[in-house]
């Protein structure tokens, strides 16, 4: 019986080649989109799941609150880890990881190899107890106890040492020698992009720093004992932190520790500040999943529409079969088998397309996803389920309609369908409306995302980031003679200005605090500190709105002067830029917290964006502090950038020949910030295009059916003098009405979805009204072009031929 079903199904597919092609193409594209997005989503959900007992590991972070905002900050004080390890029996292991700017490469030397590498961290010896990575060489036991030890990844080992066991070999990191004690297996699903690990003790921080409750510079992870209640421990820990920070209980608790499950770190940290982990975005994962479902639904709706529309052509077949004794169950089986065969062919094509497109998707997303049905049995099961689910979903209603025809009626020529004579075919029209609602929704979203991404890349940031060469200083000679180094750099006619400091736009900045005396009481305020020099404002083109900048002619500027931005004027309660001038503030100096820098505000700079537009401009203090000199910014003249770069290389080789120069331009930092949004924009356009194309395939088939159904009416109209344009209008207007109805449904949904998405950005566009109009016009134009082709074809046929056709 089943063999006969599929034999008849095969013959029907061959007999109706156009119908078969449209359905197979639509379903194949829909399933391809689902498979590609599904592979991406599955890959994103796998982060950190390979770690044994990972469900007991939590990352400690702070929720920092002000009167205007609340932020999640991943860096926490060193005493968080110390206190958890010593005073909380629920904690089995605690590890602190030094918060370093991992995008700053370090010089690695081993044998004749000499290269810069990122991905180095410094951690407590408990690192491998919290993160039990697989060791290929050596043993994780006590591997980090010795400060001269280093543990490296297998990828790093191959790059530096080649193949083989490197344990016991020496490697130099920034001219400091370490002995390799172990090699762990790299895993792209580990949220820490780590290539080598050293003992935190290599940095001999003063005790005052390591016992500090305000120096928020460490990642901290805690692995709880089995059965421990994380919420109960967190409640007790918050009480302890509050007691340590504010023992007198006389000020607001403006940063509150929280626990984040390890397996949520990758996808649920998109808004976290100072996070160096590999981050995804659960919002984008959900959005792509919804798009995949949309495209598959559109493809299924195409099938339902075309199958029910074609029911008239098979009505007599159903009547004859029922007259000869076929039951409704047998007819259901017949028509469902046709759908399953068509779906099977579509899924085979989809699997082939997925295999062809996956390498491009891997390159685009920087992933290493695999799709091989022969080596991955789970994929075979998935594809089988897809055939069954999609086949039944798409074919059940048409099969129900076809098998329900009454033999007496259909053999007399009267067909009952979803719209009887003179009635509206509500199902077909409803599905068309849903299809175009989804398409218009996606078009609006794609347009808004495009506009926001353009805004991110082109908004005035309040400073000039163009043609600024940017690099870290290297070597003792350069650090100890930074003034001479700077002067030599500035000697070239191709160089406009040079600045050395810590806290350039797009790079690492310092979150710390200052103290003001108000009404005889000291008040602490959290601010961002930028450690600058006398040429910082000139190099970046910052604008002063009050007062003056730092000047070498004013000896007190180095030790007793501060600049602040406009946001700091507001949040520190100074009233206006002019009133802020002369205000006193104090800062506990780094490395020596017992030393207080006391000074006055000498100027106010216009707000500028030194971080991404996801974040609001922080209250910011600029000061001269040579102890933090780290990065160099060289502003080039536009006339001869190449000569300027050549000059920088020559000066570099004079001061630090043992280090190769590695530089980039400052504007590159800001391009990288919005990489995820750039990719979302591209993916939205690709999948929106697919959704529209799949929808048009179905509309093309329905338009052909509508034209065929009304061929005699068209012939009579032509004989009576109707013009081609009026016939095209007649056949097109019903579809355009459905597009307008779809727009009414899609516009409010798209507006709500985009408004929620834009809330993630501190600086964002207003949703443009024209985006809705363009989406509707585009959908209408696509529908019109699709329908008009069939309408023109019908209208230009010989009317006599139409009237003669059965």
Percentage of the chain modeled with pLDDT above 70: 82
Please state, in angstroms and rounded to a whole number, the distance separating the CA atoms of residues 223 and 55. Answer: 9
Number of helices and strands (H, E) in the chain?
A: 26, 24
Tokens standing for residue 159: 């790059």
In contact, 671 and 457? CB cutoff 8 Å: yes
Residues 675-692 have a mean pLDDT of 81
In contact, 281 and 270? CB cutoff 8 Å: yes
Strands 495-501 and 631-636: antiparallel
Whether the predicted pLDDT of 417 surpasses 50: no
Q: Hey, which bits of 652-738 come out as E strands?
A: 664-665
Read off the pLDDT of residues 364-377 as tens digits, 9 standing for 90 and up.
Answer: 888 888 888 777 77
Whether the predicted pLDDT of 103 surpasses 50: no
Mean pLDDT score of the chain, rounded to an integer? 83
Between the two ends of the chain, the Cα-to-Cα distance in Å is 33
From the centroid of its chain, how far is CA 413?
57
Whether the predicted pLDDT of 93 surpasses 80: yes
Full DSSP string of 305-348: HHHHHTHHHHHHHHHHHHHTT--HHHHHHHHHHHHHHHHHHHHH
In contact, 50 and 262? CB cutoff 8 Å: no
Tokens standing for residue 594: 């017992």
Q: Which residues neighbour 477 within 8 Å (Cβ) at sequence distance 6 or greater?
A: 655, 656
Whether the predicted pLDDT of 408 surpasses 60: no
Please state, in angstroms and rounded to a whole number, the distance separating the CA atoms of residues 274 and 628. Answer: 18
> Pick the residue with more confidence: 313 or 163?
163
Tokens standing for residue 569: 């004027």
Residues 487-498 have a mean pLDDT of 92
The 10 Å CB-count burial string (b at 16+, else e) for 315-331 is bebbbebbeeebeeeeb
Please state, in angstroms and rounded to a whole number, the distance separating the CA atoms of residues 673 and 665. Answer: 14
Read off the pLDDT of residues 458-488 as tens digits, 9 standing for 90 and up.
Answer: 888 888 888 999 999 998 899 999 999 999 9
Work out the number of other CB atoms within 10 angstroms of the CB of residue 274.
20
The pLDDT value recorded for residue 328 is 64
Instruction: Give one word for 550, left, alpha or beta, with left for phi > 0 and alpha for psi -120 to 50.
Output: beta
The pLDDT value recorded for residue 102 is 46
Tokens standing for residue 449: 């995302």
**Angle separating helix axes 78-87 and 230-245, nearest 10 degrees:** 120
Whether the predicted pLDDT of 797 surpasses 70: no
Band of residue 416 on the pLDDT scale cut at 50, 70, 90: very low
Q: How many CA atoms lie within 13 A of 634 on its CB side?
A: 30
Read off the pLDDT of residues 326-345 as tens digits, 9 standing for 90 and up.
Answer: 666 766 767 777 777 788 88
DSSP-assigned letter for residue 626: G
Please state, in angstroms and rounded to a whole number, the distance separating the CA atoms of residues 347 and 31. Answer: 7
Residues 782-803 have a mean pLDDT of 68
Full DSSP string of 194-225: -SEEEEGGGS---HHHHT-SS---EEEEEEEP
Domain-wise residue ranges, the chain? 1-47+289-423, 54-264, 429-460+674-806, 468-673
Tokens standing for residue 68: 């205007």
Please state, in angstroms and rounded to a whole number, the distance separating the CA atoms of residues 286 and 263. Answer: 17
**Helix, strand, coil: what percent of the chain each, to 5?**
50, 20, 30
Residues in the chain: 806
Q: Which of 652, 591, 658 minimizes the C-alpha distance to 176?
A: 658
> Pick the residue with more confidence: 210 or 577?
577
The pLDDT value recorded for residue 801 is 59
Q: How many CA atoms lie within 13 A of 127 on its CB side?
A: 27
Name residue 596's beta-bridge partners. Answer: 588
The pLDDT value recorded for residue 275 is 84
**Angle separating helix axes 17-44 and 675-709, nearest 10 degrees:** 160
The pLDDT value recorded for residue 738 is 83
SS3 54: helix
Q: How many CA atoms lie within 13 A of 527 on its CB side?
A: 30
SS3 737: helix
In contact, 137 and 179? CB cutoff 8 Å: no
Whether the predicted pLDDT of 137 surpasses 90: yes
Lowest-confidence segment of 108-117, 398-407, 514-523 by average pLDDT: 398-407
The pLDDT value recorded for residue 44 is 92
Q: Which residues neighbour 258 within 8 Å (Cβ) at sequence distance 6 or greater?
A: 60, 61, 62, 63, 72, 234
Q: What is the CA radius of gyration of the chain?
A: 34
In this structure, what are the phi and psi dihedrals at residue 520, rounded to the nearest 5 degrees?
75, 5
Please state, in angstroms and rounded to a whole number, the distance separating the CA atoms of residues 21 and 10. Answer: 13
Band of residue 705 on the pLDDT scale cut at 50, 70, 90: low
DSSP-assigned letter for residue 716: H
Whether the predicted pLDDT of 525 surpasses 90: no
Whether the predicted pLDDT of 141 surpasses 50: yes
Read off the pLDDT of residues 741-781 as tens digits, 9 standing for 90 and up.
Answer: 989 999 999 999 999 989 888 888 999 999 999 988 888 88
Read off the pLDDT of residues 2-20 as tens digits, 9 standing for 90 and up.
Answer: 565 556 656 666 666 666 7
Whether the predicted pLDDT of 281 surpasses 70: yes
Whether the predicted pLDDT of 309 surpasses 70: no
Q: Which of 269, 267, 262 minimizes the C-alpha distance to 285?
A: 267
Read off the pLDDT of residues 230-243 as tens digits, 9 standing for 90 and up.
Answer: 999 999 999 998 88
């Amino acid at each position: 019986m089943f063999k006969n079903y599929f034999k008849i199904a095969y013959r029907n597919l061959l007999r109706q080649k156009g119908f078969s092609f449209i359905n197979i193409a639509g379903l194949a594209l829909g399933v391809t989109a689902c498979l590609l997005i599904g592979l991406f989503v599955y890959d994103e959900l796998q982060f950190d799941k390979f770690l044994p007992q990972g469900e007991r590991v939590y990352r400690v972070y702070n929720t920092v609150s002000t009167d205007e905002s609340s932020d999640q900050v991943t860096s926490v004080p060193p005493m968080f880890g110390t206190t958890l390890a010593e005073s909380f029996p629920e904690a089995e292991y605690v590890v602190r990881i030094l918060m370093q700017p991992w995008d700053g490469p370090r010089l690695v030397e081993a044998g004749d190899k000499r290269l810069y590498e990122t991905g180095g961290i410094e951690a407590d010896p408990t690192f491998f107890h919290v993160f039990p990575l697989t060791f290929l060489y050596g043993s994780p036991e006590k591997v980090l106890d010795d400060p001269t030890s280093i543990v490296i990844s297998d990828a790093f080992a191959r790059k530096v040492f080649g193949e083989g066991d490197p344990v016991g070999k020496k490697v130099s990191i920034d001219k400091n020698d370490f002995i390799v004690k172990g090699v762990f297996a790299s895993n792209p699903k580990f949220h820490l992009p780590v290539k080598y690990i050293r003992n935190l003790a290599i940095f001999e921080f003063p005790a005052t720093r390591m016992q500090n409750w305000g120096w928020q510079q460490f990642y901290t992870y805690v692995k709880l004992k089995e059965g421990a209640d994380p919420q109960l421990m967190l409640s007790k820990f918050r009480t302890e932190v509050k007691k340590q920070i504010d023992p007198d209980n006389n000020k607001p608790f403006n940063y509150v520790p929280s626990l984040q499950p390890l397996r949520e770190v990758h996808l649920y940290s998109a808004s976290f500040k100072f996070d160096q982990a590999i981050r995804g975005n659960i919002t984008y994962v959900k959005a792509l999943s919804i798009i995949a479902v949309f495209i598959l639904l559109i493809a299924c709706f195409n099938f339902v529409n075309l199958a029910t529309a074609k029911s008239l052509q098979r009505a007599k077949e159903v009547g004859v079969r029922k007259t000869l004794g076929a039951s409704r169950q047998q007819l259901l089986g017949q028509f469902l088998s046709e759908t399953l065969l068509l779906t099977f062919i579509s899924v085979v094509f989809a699997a082939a397309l997925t295999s062809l497109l996956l390498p491009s998707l891997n390159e685009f997303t920087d992933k290493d996803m695999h799709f091989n049905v022969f080596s991955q049995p789970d994929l075979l099961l998935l594809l089988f389920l897809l055939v069954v689910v999609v086949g039944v979903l798409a074919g059940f209603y048409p099969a129900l309609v076809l098998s329900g025809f009454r033999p007496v009626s259909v053999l007399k020529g009267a067909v009952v369908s979803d719209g009887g004579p003179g009635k509206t075919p509500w199902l077909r029209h409803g599905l068309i409306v849903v299809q175009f609602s989804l398409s218009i929704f996606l078009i609006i979203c794609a347009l808004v995302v495009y506009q926001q991404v353009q805004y991110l890349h082109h908004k005035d940031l309040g400073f000039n980031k163009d043609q600024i060469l940017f690099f870290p200083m290297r070597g003792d000679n350069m650090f100890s003679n930074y003034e001479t180094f700077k002067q030599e750099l500035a000697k070239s006619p191709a160089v406009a200005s040079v600045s050395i400091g810590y806290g350039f736009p797009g790079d690492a900045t310092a979150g710390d605090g200052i103290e003001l005396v108000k009404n005889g009481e000291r008040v602490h305020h959290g601010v961002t500190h930028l450690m600058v020099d006398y040429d910082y404002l000139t190099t970046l083109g910052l604008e002063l709105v009050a007062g003056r900048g730092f000047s070498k002619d004013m000896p007190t500027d180095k030790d007793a002067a501060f600049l602040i931005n406009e946001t700091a004027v507001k949040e520190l309660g100074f009233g206006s830029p002019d009133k802020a001038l002369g205000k006193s503030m104090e800062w506990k100096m780094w490395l020596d917290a017992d030393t207080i820098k006391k000074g006055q505000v000498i100027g106010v700079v216009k707000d500028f964006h030194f971080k991404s537009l996801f974040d609001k401009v922080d209250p910011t203090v600029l000061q001269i502090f040579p102890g933090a000199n780290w990065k160099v910014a060289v502003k080039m003249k536009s006339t001869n950038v190449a000569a300027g770069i050549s000059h920088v290389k020559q000066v570099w080789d004079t001061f630090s020949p043992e280090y190769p120069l590695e530089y980039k331009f400052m504007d590159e930092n800001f391009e990288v910030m919005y990489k995820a949004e750039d990719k979302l924009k591209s993916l939205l356009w690709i999948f929106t295009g697919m959704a529209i194309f799949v929808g048009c395939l179905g509309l093309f088939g329905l338009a052909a059916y509508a034209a065929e159904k009304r061929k005699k009416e068209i012939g009579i109209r032509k004989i009576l003098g109707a013009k081609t344009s009026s016939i095209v209008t007649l056949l097109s207007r019903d579809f355009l009405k459905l597009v307008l109805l779809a727009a009414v449904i899609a516009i409010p949904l798209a507006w709500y979805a985009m408004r929620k998405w834009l809330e993630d950005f501190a600086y964002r566009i207003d949703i443009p009204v024209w985006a809705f109009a363009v989406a509707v016009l585009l959908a209408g134009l696509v529908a019109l072009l699709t329908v008009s082709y069939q309408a023109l074809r019908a209208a230009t046929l010989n009317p006599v031929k139409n009237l003669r056709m059965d």
